[in-house]
Amino acid sequence: MDTSTIDNNETKFELAVRTILCETAAGDVLTYGEVATEAGYPGAARAVGNYLRTAEGVPWWRVVAANGRLHIHGTKQQRELLQNENVTVRNDKVVFTK
């Protein structure tokens, strides 16, 4: 994984993740693995999660586990944010419609 930094002190990986999520429309949900793959780093799902824990200004709530499970920390907040975007959540899991 490329860890060299760019202008705003984010790595190329972090910038790629930020860009993907900021371009993700309200109501769309991605998995950590999908974000990692789209960023060009397949297999870096955990790195996506690690980045999202501290990233500011990134719609982190639009990322869930592969099985649809919400983030362990802040489940209530994530559920509310997703439901505000008309995403169906049952038993702390996103109901994928695709």
pTM: 0.87
35-88 per-position pLDDT tens digit = 999 999 999 999 999 999 989 999 999 999 999 999 876 789 999 999 999 999
Contacts from 86-93 at CB under 8 Å and sequence distance 24+?
86/27, 87/27, 87/29, 93/64, 93/67, 93/68, 93/69
Structural domains of the chain in order of their starting residue, each with its CATH number: 12-94 (1.10.10.10)
4-26 per-position pLDDT tens digit = 444 568 899 999 999 999 999 99
Measured in residues, the chain has a length of 98
